[in-house]
Amino acid sequence: MNYHEARLKTRSFENFSCRSCEICNGIACRGEVPGVGGKGTGSGFTRNFAKIKEVMLQMDTLYEGGAVDTTLEIFGRVFKTPIFAAPVGGLTSAYNDSLSDYEYSRAILEGTLKGGGTGFLADGIAPEQFEGPLRALAEKGGMGIPTIKPWEEEEVFEKITRAREAGAIGIAMDVDAAGLTLLASLGKPVHPKSPSEIARFVEKAGIPFVVKGIMTPGAALKALEAGAYGIVVSNHGGRVLDHTPATIEVLPAIKAAVGDRMKIFIDGGIRTGYDVFKCLALGADGVLIGRPYAIAAFGGGAEAVASYTQQLTGELADAMRMTGALSLKDIDAGKVICDHRLDI
Ligand SMILES: Cc1cc2nc3c(=O)[nH]c(=O)nc-3n(C[C@H](O)[C@H](O)[C@H](O)COP(=O)(O)O)c2cc1C
């Protein structure tokens, strides 16, 4: 089953909170948090999507031909694609209860690994929201990245240990979850984290540690100084703060600040392999995709997740061939036109 078929299937589900729109741009679900939308006016989500669309590709087919290679080396592993699934939790309120956290994570890992990438896995209030994904991870030899919420330090330490025991290739923390006020109202608050706390998590992890939810060069530099292996330039799909810039707008300044000293992922509104190309051109090493992977997993399981990954990677390869980039390293800012870089 491909992505299109999986999406149509989810539309026939009863109680599926996501509308599974043909174009997943945040307009129909504005303000639906809980749900799948962006917080408040939903501008964080809609702007992510819109600003990527404004970047254009520079076609140039006058070059010595050759095979296009979409391979990325990261987390000490070689992946056939720079496209990864983003962590998606709170499945019952955002989608429905047809997949447990374990089943969802298994579909995501199995499918993305088959497609040549892998997935970041979610965390949540109930123990099973972390343990389920970890079980799926252990079954896949640790080939995924558990993403721990910024809970109290003791709980984070415990979860880092559990992730390591499952053999994870890396560990992430969505520090921007501090904006998920719902967690506090459910009795389990999350907090902003100081750079020295992040440094302690990095040390405890002892494997690549990625800080997810970075939107400024200053925050990226703090993560770098704390010893993070990488960052995810992300506004949590617009779910934690209204009125942020789009992630693609802040990416160039963040790349300029940290250079090649850390790995840079980006997410938010990335829907095609052409979008992936734009993100790599403006400074990312790899990308994460959230909502569409969730639709693929709910509608078509691992098969649709794999098919979607292959579809995106094919589109990325097409963009590379048509712009004269035979490897990911050849994709640079000269291959896109972009007039909205924020000078931040
Ligand atoms: C329903 C839903 C649940 C999410 N849960 C998590 C989570 O548990 N941890 C996390 O780091 N990010 C979470 N995110 C954010 C995604 O990882 C990602 O940053 C965002 O969805 C990317 O934008 P996109 O959906 O437009 O691709 C969630 C997003 C959605 C839509």
Q: What is the pLDDT of residue 147?
A: 98
Per the domain annotation, does 164 fall within a domain? yes
* Sign of CA pseudo-dihedral 299, 305, 310, 315: positive
- Distance, in Å, from the CA atom of 150 to the CA atom of 322, rounded to the nearest integer, reads 42
The protein residue whose alpha carbon is closest to atom 31 in ligand 1 is 36
Which residue minimizes the CA distance to atom 6 of ligand 1?
Answer: 88
C-beta 271 within 6 A of ligand 1: no
Name the residue at shortest CA distance from atom 11 of ligand 1.
174
- Check pLDDT > 90 for residue 332: yes
Q: Residues 8-40: pLDDT tens digits?
A: 999 999 899 999 999 999 999 999 999 999 999
Ligand 1 binding pocket includes 94 (Cβ within 6 Å):
yes
Q: Is 298 among the domain residues?
A: yes
Q: Which atom of ligand 1 is nearest to the CA of 235?
A: 19
Q: How many folded domains does the chain comprise?
A: 1
Phi (first) and psi of residue 288, to 5 degrees: -115, 145
Contacts from 94-97 at CB under 8 Å and sequence distance 24+? 94/17, 94/18, 94/34, 94/35, 94/36, 94/294, 95/10, 95/16, 95/17, 95/18, 95/36, 95/294, 95/298, 96/13, 96/14, 96/15, 96/16, 96/17, 96/298
Q: What is the whole-number distance in angstroms between the Cα of residue 79 and the centre of ligand 1?
A: 22
Query: Distance, CA 70 to ligand 1 centroid (Å)?
Result: 25
Nearest C-alpha to atom 29 of ligand 1 is from which residue? 88
pLDDT band at 58 (very low <50, low <70, confident <90, very high): very high
Over the Cα atoms of the chain, what is R_g? 18
Q: Across the chain, where does the E strand assignment appear?
A: 56-57, 72-74, 77-79, 83-85, 120-121, 145-148, 171-174, 209-214, 230-233, 263-267, 286-289, 336-337
In a domain, 71, yes or no: yes
Cα separation of 94 and 260, whole Å?
36
Q: For 80-131, what is each residue's pLDDT tens digit?
A: 999 999 999 999 999 999 999 999 999 999 999 999 999 999 999 999 999 9
Closest CA to 87 of 151, 128, 144, 29: 144
Q: Does residue 43 lie in a domain region?
A: yes
Ligand 1 pocket residue status of 290, Cβ below 6 Å = yes
How far is 64 from 228, CA to CA, in rounded Å? 38
Residue whose CA is at the smallest distance from ligand 1 atom 14: 88
CA 86 / ligand 1 centre spacing (Å): 6
Q: What is the mean pLDDT of residues 266-281?
A: 98
Ligand 1 contact via 86 beta carbon (within 6 Å): yes
- 65-77 pLDDT, tens digit per residue, is 899 999 999 999 9
Say yes or no: CB of residue 234 within 6 Å of ligand 1. Answer: yes
CA distance 85 to 304: 13
- 79 pLDDT more than 70: yes
Q: With respect to residue 343, please indicate whether it lies within any of the assigned structural domains.
A: no
The set of catalytic residues is 236
CA 206 to centroid of ligand 1, rounded, Å: 25
Mean pLDDT of 1-12: 97
pLDDT per residue over 151-171, tens digit each?
Answer: 999 999 999 999 999 999 999
Compute the distance between CA of residue 214 and CA of residue 266 in angstroms, rounded to an integer: 9
Distance 281 CA to ligand 1 centre (A): 23
**Residue range of the domain that includes 218:** 3-337
Q: Whole-prediction pTM value?
A: 0.97
Q: Is residue 342 part of a domain?
A: no
Mean pLDDT of the chain: 96
CATH code (residue 254): 3.20.20.70
Ligand 1 binding pocket mutation candidate from 23, 51, 105, 236 (most atoms within 8 A of CB)? 236
